Amino acid sequence: MEQDAQFAAEFNADVDVEKIAEVYAEAYLNVIEAQHHSIDDAVEEFASLIDILKAQPKFASFLASAMVSTEEKVVLLEKAFANTATPLFWNFLKIVAKRNRLDILIPIFVQTKKLQDKHYKRIPVIITTATEIDSQLLSSLSEKLCGIIGGEPLIRCVVDPETLGGMVVRVGDTIYDASILTRLKNVRRQMIERSAHEIQRQRDRFRTPDVAE
């Protein structure tokens, strides 16, 4: 089928699990967009399958087992989902099964969620504070972060008592550190740098002899 070829052309399994999962996720969402279907509906349908796998670990183990043939897995999937799944999702599951990648369905779903967030410019943000943040402050922070990161922040709050009275905001690999502890360290570093500069200046002055006219 044309859709099978479209999926197969985009799959590349010669990398680590996360990268493999990302390739499958991209292929799935690319087909969804190409067919003008809803990304949200596609992710929601995928999430329903993941919920089943988590609720039925034996079923998940069966799909992941290298001892079970692809044909047996497809037959079981067909009995369970062929009549309820959308054609695109069912086709996607068959492709994953034929490529012996049903063992990484959860990682594929995780990458699919990440791509969904990227599509809507939803950006994961971790805010670490010494105490819990109240809802009003959190709302204010969310509004400010929108302007900084250029998207909708998906905030996860972490409490760390060692964050003295301030907060540390992590956006991807970027850290915005506004904690008191960091400010104190910065002030101390600036004082040391100023002192070192002054000492060097004094040394340079004494080293330079006065030139008599």
Task: Give start and end residues of each alpha helix (H) in 120-210.
Answer: 135-149, 180-207
- For residues 133 and 127, the answer to whether their CB atoms sit within 8 Å is yes
> What would the mean pLDDT of 75-95 be, rounded to a whole number?
91
Q: Domain ends where: 99, 118, 137?
A: 118
Q: Is the pTM of this model over 0.85?
A: no
Q: What is the mean pLDDT of residues 28-44?
A: 95
99 and 113 in a single domain? The answer is yes
Residue 146 tokens, joined: 């929108």
Residues 142 and 4: their CA atoms lie apart, in Å, by 42
The answer, yes or no, to whether residue 131 has pLDDT greater than 70, is: yes
On whether the CB atoms of residues 46 and 89 are closer than 8 A, the answer is yes
Domain boundary among 78, 96, 118: 118
Residue 13's domain comprises 2-118
Q: Are residues 18 and 107 in the same domain?
A: yes
Q: What is the pLDDT of residues 166-197, one digit of tens each?
A: 788 888 778 887 765 566 566 667 767 777 77
- 184 and 84 share a domain? no
Do 137 and 193 have their domain in common?
Answer: yes
Q: How far apart are the first and last CA of the chain?
A: 96
* 112 shares a domain with 10: yes
Q: What are the backbone angles phi and psi of residue 158, rounded to the nearest 5°?
A: -125, 135
Residue 4 pLDDT > 80? no
Place of tokens 């079981």: 76
Please identify, among 79, 103, 118, the residue that sits at the C-terminal boundary of a domain.
118
Number of domains in the chain: 2
CATH number at residue 191: 3.40.30
- Are residues 8 and 110 located together in one domain of the fold? yes
